[in-house]
Amino acid sequence: MATTGVCQCLLKKNLYIYSLVNYESGGLLINIYNREGMSALIDVFNSQEFRNNMYQNGLGKEFDTSKSSNILCQLSDNFDPKLNQQNMRKVCWKLHIRGLYGESLIHILIINNTKIHTIIAKQMLLLYPNLVNDVFEELDYFGVSALHLAIIYGNESLVNILLESGCDVNVRALGNFFVPKQYNNSKKIPAFNEELYFGEYPLSWAASIDNKIIYNSLISYGADPNLMDTFGNMVLHVIVAREKLNIFGFVLRHSERPAHNDMTNNYGLTPLALACVLGKSIIFREIIELSCQEFWTYNIVTCCGYPLNVVDSMQIENKETDSRSALNIILEGNNSEHLDMLQGGVIQKLLEEKWKTFGHRLFMKRIFQTLFHLVILSVAIYLRQSNKELSICEPQVNKIFRIIAEISSILSCGRYVFFQIKEFSNKKKLNILKNLNSTLPQIIFLISNILITCCMFCRLFGILYIEEVLLIIALPSSWFFLMFFAAAVRITGPFVAMVRFMIIEDMRQFSIIYLVFLYGFSQTFHFLLKSPTKTWRQSHHSFYYSSWMELFRMTLGAHEYEELRNSYYQWLTQLFFVLFMILMPILLLNMLIAMMGNTYSLVISESEREWTMQWAKILLELEKALSFNESKLFLSQYTLTIAAKSQTDDPITALMVIKKMSISKAKKRKQAIDNWKRLNRKVKILFCNKDINDLQVINN
């Protein structure tokens, strides 16, 4: 009963404000305005009964939110700890007569967004300007002000009135409704590109709806485009997340207060890096083009310099590869948008310059080192004796070459293990897992070299059986490393990507179904073919594990039909054999071939982009092996240094690109002048016709 009474009390309080104005475009104030006009409505606003709904008759008061509600405390625990210092704020409409979501009357009027509601809202603000300080008090929408609502509905005239009334242009909308769904207060980057993320500040909301007029109004009243929200995002970050291409250049080059393009958020991402993480290829190219500096132009040819401070993975200041660079982030991506970013433009030009400067030479050097390692390893294996103990009668020449080859193999393996472990230790564990497709051949080759090194100790302690087992595992793994180089060659690169995709996708799906049938039939044939008419050891299905191998051979068409007749249940064995042949070789195997054919047609259409991605990853792996002095030398060869915008900033490292435009600037200028002339003539004709019509009306 007590709980029911509390609910009824809360319902009555919430119903009171909705009796004035509700969300169905009705209410007492709307009815009075429709029947009696604005004068009667002003009398209602000036009445004491209406003023009692506000603190100090509409003047408002400083309110300690921590004493009446724990919403701000909950938000500060989940988000910014600095919010604990913002508990004192001015409130006008009384909290105990708010709506269901903690909204005041001015919020309801703006949300309805009709002409009548806007007129009433403007009149209320003229009489009680302190209403602009009220925000939603409910957890999901906490912090949303009248300014936020006017912006999101695009009500420019109401925005101007709110600004003139002294509203806070930097008030923050912190409710859970506007938080990305994947955010869990961790270091993982949330999905900023969701439809409900606007960036907390009114300026970010204006940029999110692509409204330059409201944006200018907020800037003129002191709004700061470089303020960080809960995630450290500024206006440019929000524009990238929302992919508002038209307003990015306007905000970046604003005449009164331009936004900074080089500031990072809480995840260490600049707007350009965030575009790479989210896969926004269109706005990524726009940011790149806006950052370039033009050196000279001749007809349709233009020479530009593109800053590489946040683009290139080779950063001399950090003395290591920058994991947050645009190039590194793109190569960590796995969708089609990231492939688009590598095609054409500055990124492709940067990769080509890296390849010419140091990539090709290091690539060929590694190929020869790997081939030399595999050749001497093959020599050591082929000269090895077939028996378990090395033969005393081994020819002296073979023995000398074998010992030299074995020692060279051990030294080569030890050298590679040392440098590869050192290289992996410089990488983050997460980056290795993300780039597992590109680093998998290296990891397998590293393991094979470790196994070959262990063979030396097995030889010293006389454990020759284990030595042979390790060699059997390590030898094919060593040759598999050549796939790492084949992926960087244009001829074989697409096929390497195709094989990898078939193994990861097609074979994985096929293996699940195939193993189910294999295990089921292996038990059946194991039971049926343990025939006493044959010796126990003579049957291929004598043991359960041998039955698996025999059925695998039968899947590929290798079977002995005469063996089926040695069972006591000959007709039943033949029946299951026919069923097995229909399901396994005919159905499943042909289904796998069809799946691989479909994969081939899909990958071959994307072969150029897939090869570019693999080639770029290998180039980045070669770059990570460079020393600091080598990186500094190579960077100076494919880049140039341009002056910074201010004397306090460091010089900018840029990539020079000569590009060809479809039309020269002179022709563009001439077309613009012609368009203005045509528009001017149309306007003159329009006004001339208007004057003639006016004269005819006067004469009549």
Backbone angles phi, psi at 596, to 5 degrees: -70, -35
Which pLDDT belongs to residue 542? 65
Instruction: Tell me the per-residue pLDDT of 166-180, one tens digit each, with 9 for 90 and over.
Output: 888 888 888 888 877
Query: 10 falls in which pLDDT band (50, 70, 90)?
Result: very low
Condensed to tens digits (0 to 9), the pLDDT of residues 46-93 reads 888 888 888 888 888 887 655 444 444 444 444 444 444 455 678 888
pLDDT at position 432 over 60:
no
Residue 435 has pLDDT above 70, yes or no: no
556-582 per-position pLDDT tens digit: 777 766 666 667 677 787 788 888 888
Q: What's the Cα-to-Cα distance from 464 to each of 468, 505, 677, rounded to whole Å?
A: 6, 39, 92
Provide the pLDDT for residue 700. 47
State residue 5's pLDDT score: 39
> For residue 680, what pLDDT band results from cuts at 50, 70 and 90?
low
Four-CA torsion 265, 269, 274, 278, nearest 10 degrees: -100
Give the pLDDT confidence score for residue 34 in this predicted structure.
87
What letter represents residue 229's amino acid? D
Residue 679 has pLDDT above 70, yes or no: no
pLDDT score of 431 more than 80? no
- Distance CA(643)–CA(636), nearest Å, equals 15
Neighbours of 345 (CB within 10 A): 18
pLDDT of residue 662 exceeding 80: no
Query: Residue 64 — φ and ψ, nearest 5°?
Result: -90, 100
CB burial string 112-145: b at 16+ within 10 A, e below: bbeeebbebbbbbbeebbbbbbbbbbbbebbbbb
Q: Indicate the residue type of 237.
A: H
196 vs 41, which has greater pLDDT? 41
**DSSP class per residue in 22-56:** -TTS-SHHHHHHHHH-HHHHHHHHHSHHHHTTBGG
Kindly give the residue spans of alpha helices, DSSP state H, lying in 193-344: 202-208, 212-220, 235-242, 245-252, 271-278, 281-290, 326-332, 336-342
Give, to the nearest 10 degrees, the angle between helix 281-290 and helix 235-242.
140
Q: 502 vs 76, which has greater pLDDT?
A: 502
> How much is the pLDDT for 86?
52
CATH code for the structural domain at 186-289: 1.25.40.20
- Match 């509601």 to its residue by tokens: 117
Share of residues in the chain with pLDDT > 90 (%): 3
Domain coordinates in residue numbering, the chain: 10-178, 186-289, 309-485, 495-605, 670-700
Neighbours of 360 (CB within 10 A): 14
> What is the reported pLDDT for 269?
85
Tens of pLDDT, residue by residue over 322-376, are 667 888 888 887 777 788 888 777 888 888 888 888 888 888 888 898 888 888 8
Residues ≥6 apart with Cβ < 8 Å to 85: none
Residue 212's contacts (CB-CB under 8 Å, 6 or more residues apart) are 247, 250
- 433: pLDDT confidence band, cut at 50, 70 and 90? very low
Q: How many CB atoms lie under 10 A from the CB of residue 603?
A: 18
How many whole angstroms from its chain centre is CA 172?
26
The predicted pLDDT at position 72 comes to 46
* 3-class DSSP assignment, residue 655: strand
480 CB neighbour count, 10 Å cutoff:
14
Residue 426: the pLDDT is 52
pLDDT of 188 above 60: yes
More confident residue, 429 or 599: 599
pLDDT in tens, 207-237: 988 888 999 999 998 888 998 888 888 999 9
Residue range 262-294, pLDDT digits in tens: 888 888 888 888 888 888 888 888 888 888 887
Two structure tokens written together for 500: 């990898």
Average pLDDT, stretch 429-434? 46
pLDDT of residue 88: 67
> Residues in the chain, how many?
700
536 against 61, higher pLDDT: 61
Element (H, E) at 89: strand 88-91
With a cut of 70, say whether residue 656 has pLDDT above it.
yes
* E strands present in 107-204: none
